[in-house]
């Protein structure tokens, strides 16, 4: 009896001790889980608050943060390349995180368009001509390529294609390997096609709306595009047949509106915003081009087309103002020479090249908010 009681007591004590250890372990695991959860939230907030010349407004969008082998894996919607170690250092300084951070870039967006090999399609549009839409498209594409994005440009301005000139391909004709499909040009890391490669540059394109729309769909669908993360479509000005063809047949993932601060341009930009809203195309943001001019002689800033018109328009329609790009003669000179400003040596002496890179980064952030899956690049 004594032995039984002693055994029972010993068993009871062991069970109590085991229960105590189990509770401690559960408590420890619970505390660790809460700590990691708090660190993850802290990391996400730190990404939003992070300030860097390339992304002064922080890193936002659909950022996936996971834990793998006691390391936070942050899946970003754009490639940061050599900046990753610098950003990791900044984050650990700001947050005092104990858990290491690793950036990953696994492609997670699959093509859902009729256009083979294309993941996302972005229309670059303007309400009126002369606001620098093609110039913005060209430099934006080059910056995306430099940031690691597989990018292409489709020049959909049927009546006034200017992309061949801006990429230094004026006078070039399209080539075909099978006599049925077209091979895109490759320049500065960007895949290109344009009606300007099909129609001789000295010939006027005298087509009615249906014929122009048919020609556009041929250029889109009969081009052997390589695998692209983003296809930028340089749209013609206005809200006509080409815009409707794109919205009905291609279903763009978003639209980028380019305008100047001038009231005349803004009025037409608003029409463009309203049109894309009606066809259920998300507005990724607005770019105010030729925002200001800095005089070489006196250094004074001049607002030749008005001030903050783009910001007011963006606020009115509740869309993001992604950039206010200055008016620089060298940007026009580079476009005429066929070497985009973003890759020209002169760009290193100005702030505008950085602003184009900021625009490229912001565009990818906006795309990550609009699409169901985050596009992460590797």
> Distance (Å, rounded) from C-alpha 234 to C-alpha 232?
6
Q: Which of 76, 104, 132 is the last residue of a domain?
A: 104
Q: Which of 104, 136, 170 is the last residue of a domain?
A: 104
- Give the per-residue pLDDT at 378: 34
Pair (178, 68) in one structural domain:
no
Pair (206, 276) in one structural domain:
yes
- Give the per-residue pLDDT at 149: 86
The answer to whether position 377 is within a domain reads no
CA 280-284-289 angle, 5° bins: 125
The answer to whether position 375 is within a domain reads no
Pair (99, 127) in one structural domain:
no
Q: What is the CATH number of the domain that holds 247?
A: 3.40.50.300
How many other CB atoms are there within 10 angstroms of residue 302's CB atom? Answer: 12
- Give the per-residue pLDDT at 346: 55
Pair (99, 226) in one structural domain:
no
- Give the per-residue pLDDT at 305: 74
Pair (27, 83) in one structural domain:
yes
The answer to whether position 7 is within a domain reads yes
Interaxial angle between packed helices 263-278 and 241-249, expressed in degrees from 0 to 180 and rounded to the nearest 10: 30
Pair (47, 10) in one structural domain:
yes
> Which tokens go with 304?
């030749």
Pair (50, 141) in one structural domain:
no
Pair (26, 68) in one structural domain:
yes
> Distance (Å, rounded) from C-alpha 365 to C-alpha 347?
24
- Give the per-residue pLDDT at 174: 85
Domain that holds residue 140: 118-370
Phi, psi of 253 (to 5 degrees): -80, -15
The answer to whether position 113 is within a domain reads no
The answer to whether position 30 is within a domain reads yes
Pair (197, 97) in one structural domain:
no
Q: What is the CATH number of the domain that holds 40?
A: 3.30.300
Count the domains in the chain: 2
> Distance (Å, rounded) from C-alpha 365 to C-alpha 323?
13
- Give the per-residue pLDDT at 256: 94
> Distance (Å, rounded) from C-alpha 155 to C-alpha 164?
9
Chain-centre distance for alpha carbon 114: 21
pTM, two decimals, is 0.78
Per-residue tens of pLDDT for the chain, all 378 residues: 332 333 333 434 444 444 454 444 554 555 556 667 777 787 888 888 887 787 777 777 667 788 877 788 887 766 566 677 777 777 777 766 667 777 765 544 545 566 888 888 999 988 777 888 999 999 999 999 988 889 999 998 877 788 999 999 988 888 888 888 899 999 999 999 998 887 766 565 666 667 777 878 888 888 999 999 899 999 887 767 777 777 777 778 899 999 888 877 888 888 888 888 888 889 999 999 888 777 777 777 776 777 888 888 888 888 888 988 988 888 888 988 999 999 876 554 445 578 898 899 889 888 877 654 434 333
Q: Which of 72, 104, 136 is the last residue of a domain?
A: 104
Pair (311, 218) in one structural domain:
yes
Pair (149, 31) in one structural domain:
no
């Amino acid at each position: 009896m004594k032995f039984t009681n002693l055994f029972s007591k010993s068993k009871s004590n062991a069970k109590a001790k085991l229960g105590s250890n189990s509770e401690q372990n559960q408590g420890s695991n619970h505390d660790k889980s809460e700590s990691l959860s708090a660190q993850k939230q802290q990391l996400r907030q730190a990404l939003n608050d992070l300030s860097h010349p390339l992304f002064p407004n922080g890193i936002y969008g659909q950022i996936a943060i996971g834990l793998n082998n006691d390391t936070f894996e942050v899946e970003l919607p754009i490639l940061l390349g050599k900046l990753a170690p610098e950003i990791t250092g900044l984050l650990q300084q700001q947050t005092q995180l104990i858990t290491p951070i690793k950036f990953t870039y696994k492609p997670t967006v699959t093509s859902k368009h009729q256009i083979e090999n294309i993941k996302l399609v972005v229309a670059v549009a303007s309400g009126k001509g002369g606001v620098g839409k093609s110039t913005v498209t060209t430099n934006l594409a080059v910056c995306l390529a430099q940031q690691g994005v597989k990018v292409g440009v489709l020049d959909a301005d049927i009546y006034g294609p200017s992309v061949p000139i801006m990429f230094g391909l004026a006078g070039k004709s399209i080539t075909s390997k099978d006599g049925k499909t077209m091979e895109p040009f490759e320049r500065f890391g960007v895949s290109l096609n344009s009606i300007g490669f099909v129609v001789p540059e000295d010939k006027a394109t005298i087509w009615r709306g249906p014929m122009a729309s048919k020609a556009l769909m041929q250029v889109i669908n009969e081009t052997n595009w390589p695998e692209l993360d983003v296809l930028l479509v340089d749209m013609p000005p206005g809200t006509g047949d080409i815009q409707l063809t794109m919205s009905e047949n291609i279903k763009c993932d978003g639209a980028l509106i380019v305008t100047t601060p001038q009231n005349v341009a803004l009025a037409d930009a608003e029409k463009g915003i309203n049109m894309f809203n009606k066809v259920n195309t998300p507005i990724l943001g607005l770019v105010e081009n030729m925002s200001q001019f800095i005089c070489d002689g006196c250094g004074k800033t001049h607002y030749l087309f008005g001030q903050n018109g783009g910001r007011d328009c963006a606020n009115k329609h509740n869309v993001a103002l992604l950039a206010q790009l200055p008016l620089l003669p060298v940007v026009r000179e580079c476009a005429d020479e066929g070497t985009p400003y973003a890759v020209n040596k002169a760009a290193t002496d100005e702030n505008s090249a950085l602003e184009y890179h900021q625009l490229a980064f912001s565009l990818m952030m906006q795309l990550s908010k609009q699409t169901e899956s985050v596009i992460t690049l590797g």
